[in-house]
Amino acid sequence: MIELANIDKHYTLADTTFTVLQSLNLSVTQGERVAIVGPSGSGKSTLLLILTGLEDATHGTVSIAGQTLNTLSADVRADMRREQIGIVFQSFHLIPTLTARENVALPLEISGHAQSRQRAVELLDRVGLSERKDHYPAQLSGGEQQRVAMARALVHEPALVVADEPTGNLDEATGEAVVQLLFDLNQDSGTTLILVTHDPELASRCDRTLRLHDGQLNQVTP
């Protein structure tokens, strides 16, 4: 499903080069649930950007479902993300002029899905926001916006879900509902999950946990 080979990522600032990822390798099979942990600033979010083709590695290759992202145009990468990948980052990227329902329905409407609005309402209900469906992002709390972003990421039943701290802004009960939605999708549809988290309980529910340290991923022993 996913292959990252010999990934390096360097940034240059004021003539100084910073190494974020170095000779990093990752292999994830279809349907696997992988947690990625590590200290703040270790490069976890950068890794997710590279994995989803939103940012290029300095060196190395990224392949998803047999397609090497490095060789694809920006438009083709965008089509792949819209059709196959659900992404939830800490910045929710909700469109402020659209309601919660319209934000969630947007990926399906772009694809011409006939039941986009109905499907959006179903997902909002599953994250406990059906009564807030006609509210705009500015009228929602941070936790509510996070749940809208989660619903949008899952509305098209993607083959791969990538989430950066999916329970970070949620209370315990709501966080559990969101996590259950992720794992239900994994069980029912074979969706692959890659979750960056500081929550040891969430990590323990995954098939394996990898720690990002000094630019490389290492297996965490239970």
For the chain, the structural domain boundaries read: 2-219
- Burial of 221 by CB count in 10 Å (0-12 exposed, 13-18 middle, 19+ buried)? exposed
Residue 210 has a pLDDT of 97
Residue 222 has a pLDDT of 66
Residue 139 has a pLDDT of 96
Q: Tell me, letter by letter, the H, E, C secondary structure of 82-111.
A: HHHEEEECCCCCCCCCCCHHHHHHHHHHHC
Fold of 2-219: Rossmann fold (3.40.50)
Residues in the chain predicted with pLDDT less than 70, given as ranges, are: 222
Name the nearest CA neighbour of 137 among 108, 98, 176: 98
Residue 73 has a pLDDT of 92
Sequence letter at residue 148: V
- Burial of 216 by CB count in 10 Å (0-12 exposed, 13-18 middle, 19+ buried)? middle
